[in-house]
Structure 1
């Protein structure tokens, strides 16, 4: 029996961050294909958004039973085609279950043994398949908010690449949300909040994210509060 309990309380707050989620969708859509595995799908906010991409089947893993029940309801209510959910982790998969795309959207930082997790994910990835990871960036931005929602770490390009299998070809590695970085730094140095308010999330999403969408590419995706890695399994 799975007794995993997610300690965070921010999923509903960030579910309303439409500009941010659409930005992520825009960046990821060309890498999502075929049979998809979404690890740590939570309440299904990213599932609903990203499953509008071209795919064959979509499997959501969620170890927390309460979040899993919400995820199941969301899939049913939104009639997401060929989308299935399972209450468990990647350890629950059989060796025969292989995927063209594996997603960790704001999940890997919650997993204690991240390198071991990614090694397992790699074993379930088909040749030429894509491993997609989005996580919070920069350990120097780690705050009580990270601790409160169960983060073990934040990543830099160096530390995220370090947990990838040597055989994985990194085809995209970028920092995102350069404006949001300064908001996160302000929280760390001044506000010191353990969790943002809904109003703060809406201000960030409405005003800061659109600026980041325009300026991130101008700065070459060299700094931001989040980090995105896409790796491809070699033939």
Structure 2
């Protein structure tokens, strides 16, 4: 066990709470799927939900890094059932990667907000990204929506476009940066200002996933993805000839 992870245990419970949010998973995954290559590094693998959601093709390699040993053990127990071909779970974080490990895709799916020094984190990840590869971030949006729930599950912040642009490592270019789930943003704002709940109920999650997310798929297009409770950021590492990948 890496010394810096001794006795680490994730204190949040949103992984279990949002496990059944199938429409939301289908929505965000449809946005990033074109940029997911064949050799994937996933930071904060959790219980393997992201790998299962993106299990649409065989991968040469999918390495999930997870700092919680118990979660790693849970994922290993279900390996080979609904996990991608080429999937491997490893106990650790980006600091535990070998210097020569390289990937064409790096994923932070609802993870970067949990990391205190997000700028240093992206710098480390960038060093493991091949030329032409993509670093993909999906995260909660807008600090004005920061709530007791965010605090409870260990979020250091929520992001807007300016915040993400400010921490992009120098070698990377911003290929896509936009918001998702405009209807859900209104619900989050209502909770922040009125309900002030530190934990959504299963009924609220079902309502959001079954109705609001579906409505957002239409409204997000109409608003040009300028509003949303989540933000998507696709960063690209230029090829050595200076061209972008197709």
TM-score strictly above 0.5: yes
Q: Would the aligned equivalents of 2:161 and 2:177 in 1 still touch at CA under 8 Å? A: yes
| Alignment deviations for residues 5-38 of structure 1 (CA, whole Å, 9 cap, x no partner) | 2110111111100000001121111000121001
| Alignment deviations for residues 66-103 of structure 1 (CA, whole Å, 9 cap, x no partner) | 22122222333325311101011011110110000000
Mean CA deviation greater in 65-74 or 222-231: 65-74
Query: Which residue of structure 1 aligns with residue 33 of structure 2?
Result: 29
Q: Which ranges in structure 2 are unaligned for 5 or more consecutive residues?
A: 240-246
1:16 is the counterpart of 2:20: yes
1:139 is the counterpart of 2:143: yes
Q: Which ranges in structure 1 are unaligned for 5 or more consecutive residues?
A: none
- Are residues 53 and 213 of structure 1, via their aligned partners in 2, closer, same or farther at CA, if it must alter by over 3 Å? farther
- Are residues 158 and 79 of structure 1, via their aligned partners in 2, closer, same or farther at CA, if it must alter by over 3 Å? closer
> What is the SS of the residue equivalent to 1:15?
coil
Deviation at 1:54, TM superposition (A): 5.6
Query: Which residue of structure 2 aligns with residue 182 of structure 1?
Result: 186
Within 5 Å, give how 1:74-153 maps onto structure 2.
Answer: 74-78=78-82, 80-153=84-157
> What is the SS of the residue equivalent to 1:223?
coil
Query: Which residue of structure 1 aligns with residue 174 of structure 2?
Result: 170
Q: Distance in 1 between matches of 2:186 and 2:220?
A: 13
Query: Which residue of structure 1 aligns with residue 243 of structure 2?
Result: none
Q: Would the aligned equivalents of 1:105 and 1:133 in 2 still touch at CA under 8 Å? A: yes
Q: Would the aligned equivalents of 1:41 and 1:71 in 2 still touch at CA under 8 Å? A: no
Q: Would the aligned equivalents of 1:100 and 1:125 in 2 still touch at CA under 8 Å? A: yes
Deviation at 1:53, TM superposition (A): 4.1
Q: Distance in 1 between matches of 2:219 and 2:149?
A: 26
Q: Would the aligned equivalents of 1:44 and 1:74 in 2 still touch at CA under 8 Å? A: no
- Are residues 114 and 177 of structure 1, via their aligned partners in 2, closer, same or farther at CA, if it must alter by over 3 Å? same
Tell me the TM-score normalized by structure 2: 0.93
Q: Distance in 2 between matches of 1:23 and 1:79?
A: 19
| Alignment deviations for residues 145-198 of structure 1 (CA, whole Å, 9 cap, x no partner) | 000000000000000111111221110001100000000001111111111111
| Alignment deviations for residues 201-229 of structure 1 (CA, whole Å, 9 cap, x no partner) | 01000000000011112111101000000
Q: Would the aligned equivalents of 1:108 and 1:114 in 2 still touch at CA under 8 Å? A: yes
1:212 is the counterpart of 2:216: yes
Tell me the TM-score normalized by structure 1: 0.97
CA-atom RMSD in angstroms: 1.1
